[in-house]
């Protein structure tokens, strides 16, 4: 299991130190939550802050867009050369076009599904993406409770992936901790995002991250 700590739960007064610390303590990716105050009721970080993060991160960036105008935000963040840019299927009328655009910029495209969106909604896009991110909370905030129906959804998605694109990875985001990591693994999940669990862990980042690398 790969682990992508969400910097939404980092200390923004010491963001560079926190990003360096998770990278030095075994994380696999750095998850960046971009919220625009329209698609979700919260506003987070833009290109100025991501530029500072990209300068100190020694692990690839995993940019999760929670925005209305996806294409505009892809242009804003592409210069930082993230490994992934993921966008919500609920907010995109022309997903094939956007997937092609992200790939043409040398970035791996990924789709995100809100907790209520069935995996079948993206069946005919699976062949074109490298990852699907399943939300296990309603997007907008860190520290929410894990919605356990994501387990059933991950298993159903895994079957579709085997049929259409066996190389496509499954990522789960929201409320992940050491209490649900094993069932996520068993359901076929490849990457977990964890914000409050990693940044709030009493025994430090290394312990927190390694406890999810099952």
Q: Which residues are catalytic?
A: 33, 173
Residue 142 structure tokens: 């860190």
In 3D, which of 138, 139, 137, 140 has the Cα closest to residue 177?
A: 137
Q: Which is nearer to ligand DX5, 8 or 168 (CB)?
A: 8
Query: Applying CB under 6 A, does 8 fall inside the site for ligand DX5?
Result: yes
Q: Please tell me the total number of residues recorded for the chain in this structure.
A: 214
Query: Using only C-alpha atoms, what is the Rg of the chain?
Result: 16
Is 174 among the residues that bind ligand DX5 (CB under 6 A)?
yes
Under rule CB under 6 A, residue 180 binds ligand DX5: no
Single residue of 173, 189, 208, 212 touching ligand DX5 by CB under 6 A:
173
Q: Is 194 in the site for ligand DX5 (CB under 6 A)?
A: yes
Of 102 and 150, CB closest to ligand DX5: 150
List 78, 142, 154, 187, residue binding ligand DX5 (CB under 6 A): 142
Question: Cβ distance 177 to 142 under 8 Å?
Answer: no
* HSE-CB of 17 using CA atoms within 13 angstroms: 5
Among 62, 92, 171, 173, binds Zn ion (CB under 5 A): 173
* Coil, strand or helix at 188: coil
3-state secondary structure of 173: strand
Contact criterion met (CB below 8 Å) for 71 and 98? yes
158 binds Zn ion (CB under 5 A): no
DSSP 146: P
Which of ligand DX5, Zn ion, none is residue 196 near (CB under 5 to 8 Å by kind)? Answer: ligand DX5
Residues of span 30-89 touching Zn ion by CB under 5 A: 33, 64
Binding site for ligand DX5 (CB under 6 A): 6, 8-9, 31, 33, 64, 137, 139-140, 142-144, 173-176, 193-197
């Amino acid at each position: 299991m790969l682990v992508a700590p969400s910097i939404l739960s980092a200390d923004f007064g010491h963001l560079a130190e926190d990003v360096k610390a998770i990278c030095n303590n075994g994380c696999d990716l750095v998850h960046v939550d971009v919220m625009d105050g329209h698609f979700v009721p919260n506003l987070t970080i833009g290109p100025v802050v991501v530029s500072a993060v990209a300068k100190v991160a020694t692990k690839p960036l995993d940019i999760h867009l929670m925005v209305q105008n996806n294409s505009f935000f892809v242009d804003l963040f592409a210069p930082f050369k993230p490994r992934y840019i993921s966008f919500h299927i609920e907010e995109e009328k022309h997903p094939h076009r956007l997937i092609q655009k992200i790939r043409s910029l040398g970035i791996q495209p990924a789709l995100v599904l809100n907790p209520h969106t069935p995996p079948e909604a993206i069946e005919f896009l699976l062949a074109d993406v490298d990852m699907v991110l399943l939300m296990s909370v309603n997007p907008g905030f860190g520290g929410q409770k894990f919605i356990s129906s994501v387990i059933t959804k991950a298993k159903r998605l895994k079957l579709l992936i085997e049929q259409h694109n066996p190389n496509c990875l499954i990522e789960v985001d929201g409320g992940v901790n050491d209490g649900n990591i094993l069932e996520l693994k068993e359901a076929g999940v490849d990457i977990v995002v964890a914000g409050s669990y990693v940044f709030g862990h009493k025994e430090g980042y290394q312990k927190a991250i390694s406890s999810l690398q099952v």
